[in-house]
């Protein structure tokens, strides 16, 4: 959960994109987060780094070592 060095005006967007929720298209493929398109390059890198650190912490907290990403993938497979 690594924050940027200083607060960014795009912080809520970064936080949203750094989450593991993603919508599906009608074919079932995972779509980009809608707010990813609103981020500039700096914001996208920030979102990537926040996600990387967040997934690390989530996995550390989970008894099976599963992050939100891993759980979302497994839930998707189970739902098929």
Partner 1 sequence: MHDLDEHLPAILAGDLDAFGHWVAGAEPRLRASLRSFATLVDTEAVVQEAFLRVWQVAPRFVADGRPDGLLRLALRIARNLAVSERRRSRSSSADDEALERAQAGEVGERAPTDPLLRLMIEACRNGLPKKPAIALVARLESAGGEADDVLAGRLGMTKNTFLQNFTRARKLLLECLQRHGVDLRTELA
Q: Does 5 bind partner 1 (CB under 8 A)?
A: no
Torsion angle, alpha carbons of 26, 47, 61, 65, to 10:
60
Interface with partner 1 in residues 16-75 (CB under 8 A)? 16-23, 29-33, 36, 41, 44-45, 47-48, 50-61, 64-75
Residue (of 8, 34, 10) closest to 21 by Cα position: 34
What value, to the nearest 5°, has the Cα angle with vertex 59 and ends 56 and 7? Answer: 35
Q: Looking at beta carbons only, is 3 or 26 nearer to partner 1?
A: 3
* CB 27, min distance to partner 1, A: 11
Q: Determine the 3-state secondary structure of 24 from DSSP.
A: strand
* CB 61, min distance to partner 1, A: 6
* CB 26, min distance to partner 1, A: 15
């Amino acid at each position: 959960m690594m924050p940027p060095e200083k607060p960014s005006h795009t912080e809520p967007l970064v936080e949203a994109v750094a989450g593991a929720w993603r919508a599906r298209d009608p074919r079932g493929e995972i779509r980009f987060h809608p707010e990813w398109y609103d981020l500039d390059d700096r914001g996208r890198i920030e979102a990537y780094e926040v996600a990387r650190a967040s997934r690390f912490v989530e996995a550390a907290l989970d008894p099976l070592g599963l992050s939100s990403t891993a759980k979302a993938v497994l839930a998707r497979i189970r739902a098929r």
